[in-house]
Structure 1
Amino acid sequence: MTPGQLVRATMIHLQGTTYAVRDLNEARRWYQEWLQRSPAVEGASEVRFEVGAGWLVLVEDRAGKALSGCSARWQVEDVEGTWERLLELGAEAVEKPCMGEDGVWGALVCDPFGNRLELVEGMGVPGPVRIAAAGESTRAIEVERIISAPRTRVWQAWTHQDELGSWFGRDAYVELRVGGPFEIYMLAEPSGFRGSEGCRVLSYLEERMLSFSWNAPPDHPTRLWQTRVVVELSDIDSVQSVSRLRLTHTGWPSLDGDEAQKAAASGEPDAAEWDATFAYFQRAWPKVMTALERHLGGSAGHS
C-alpha cells in the first residue's frame, strides 16, 4: 500500500455506533492504529473515538452478552485501500470490494472482535435528515413554558452536564461547543441504547438559544436518522426572574409520493414509522418541560 492510499483510508466518517468487545485495551489499540488517532474519552469500561461527525464507542463485554456482532456503516474515500488496510491489521474479509447496482462501491469486513464494518464509498451515512430543499416537512413540535426562574438559571439547567442529567434522565455527556456531544442517558441499557448517543450541539447563543441533533428511542425504526431540536430563552420579567422557554422539534422528513418510494427502496423508515416517532415526541416533550419546571422550583404557565 502506498502512503497516498493510507492517507485516503483514514478519511473516514461515521454517524455513531457502539461495538462490544471482550478485551477493551486490545480493541482500543486496534482501532487507534487503524484510525490513526487517540481516543477522545477513555474510561474503565468504555472508550470513545471521534470519527467524522460521530462517535465510535467501544464497550467492554467480557461475557459476550451485550452488543457483540454489531454492524455499522463507515463512509470512506477509498474502499479498496481501506479494505486492504483493515485486512493487514487482522480484520476478516466478508465481502470483497465491488460496485453495487446503485453505482456505490462497498465492502464488508469483521474486526478481530466480531463486529462488522460495512464500507461504502461515494455515499453518505444516515445523518440529520433532509434539508427543506430536499424534502423536509414543515411540521414541527412546539412547546412553550413560562418558568419562575431567571434565564441564566434555565440556561444552566440545559447546558451543564451534571445538572442536565439529573432532571432529564439518569446521566448526561455534554460539551457546549459546536459539534460537541449532546448525549442524555435515560435508560439503564448497554451503551448505545441508553438515550441520545451520537447527538451533537449544532449551534448556540449564550443564554438565548441552543440547538442540537436528536434521535428516537432505540426501539424506533427511525433511530439512526436524526432530527433537530431548538431551545430558545427570553426574559418575561427580569425583576421577578421569570423566563419564557420555547422548544421546537423540527427536521422531520416529508415522505409523500416519490420520496416515500425512495425511502422504501433504500430501507429507510417509511411514513408510518416517522409518524409514530413524531407522535411519541408530541407526548414526551411536554413531560420533559414539566420535569424541568419541577427541577427549577415551579412555573408561571405554559402553552
Structure 2
Amino acid sequence: MTNQNTAEQKIIKKKVMIDSKADLVWYAWTKSDRVSQWFAGKAIVEPEVGGKYELYFEPGNEVGNCTKGCTIIGLEPFKSLSFTWKGPDPLAELMNQSSKLTEVNVKLQEIGEQTEVTVTHTGWGEGQEWQRAIDWHVMAWDQVLSSLKSALEAGEGELCCQP
C-alpha cells in the first residue's frame, strides 16, 4: 500500500494493487451488498450522481458512526467514484455538518490482471482538530483498503472502524 499524505497539503492519498479485474473492484465499491462485505455492516449505495453513499458501521445504529446523508458527486463507471464523507462520532461536531463534509475520490486503473485503487480524501479544514481528523482517516483508509484487498483476493474482508 502506498501512502502519500501530507498535512501541509491537507490531502490523504492511498494506493493499493489488488489481484482482481477492475469490474469486480468497481462492484465492491458500488453494490450495497458487496460494500457491506468489506467496508461497513450495512450500506446503501445508489450508483448515480446524486445517489446515496451511506455506510452504517454499527449494527442497528442508523444515527451515529455512519455516513447517512452522504451522496455520490461524481461517477465514471469502472474508472472513478466520488462521494461526500462524514467522520466518526468523536469528529461529528467538526466534520459532519453539511457545509463541512469532506470528499472522497476512488480511482481504478486496470493493469494486466490487477487493479490499482487510489483513494484521495480532500476538503479538510485548518487547525489542530482537523489535523486529528486527518490522522484518524489516514489510519482508517489503511484499514479500508486492506479489507478491500483481502475481500477481493481471499474472500476475507474485515469491516472497518468497528467499535
TM-score, normalising length: structure 2: 0.83
**Per-residue deviation at 1:190?**
3.3
Partner of 1:217: 88
TM-fit CA distance, 1:189: 5.4
- Among 203, 227, 235, the alignment partner of 2:110 is 235
Deviation per CA, 1:206-247, whole angstroms, max 9, x where unpaired? 10000000011122132322100000001111xxx2111111
Partner AA of 1:205 in structure 2:
E
Gaps of 5+ in 1: 1-136, 256-270, 299-303
Runs of 4+ residues over 6 Å off in structure 1:
none
**Superposed CA RMSD:** 1.4
1:131 is matched with none
How far off its partner does 1:188 sit? 3.0
Question: In structure 2, what is the equivalent of residue 99 of structure 1?
Answer: none
In structure 2, how many angstroms separate the alpha carbons of the residues matched to 1:187 and 1:218?
A: 11
Identity of aligned residues (%): 29
Cross-structure match for 1:180: 51
**Structure with the larger helix share:** 2
- Are the aligned partners of 2:42 and 2:59 in contact in 1 as well (CA < 8 Å)? no
Q: SS at 2:83's partner residue? A: strand
Q: Match of 2:52, as an amino acid? A: P
- 5+ long unaligned stretches in structure 2: 1-7, 155-163
Q: 2:116 aligns with which of 244, 247, 250?
A: 244
Instruction: Name 1:277's counterpart in structure 2.
Output: 133
- By relative contact order (CA 8 Å, sep 6+), the higher-ranking structure is 2
- Size of the aligned set, in residue pairs, is 143
Q: Provide the TM-score with structure 1 as the length reference.
A: 0.46
Judge conservation of contact 2:49–2:74 (CA < 8 Å) in 1: yes
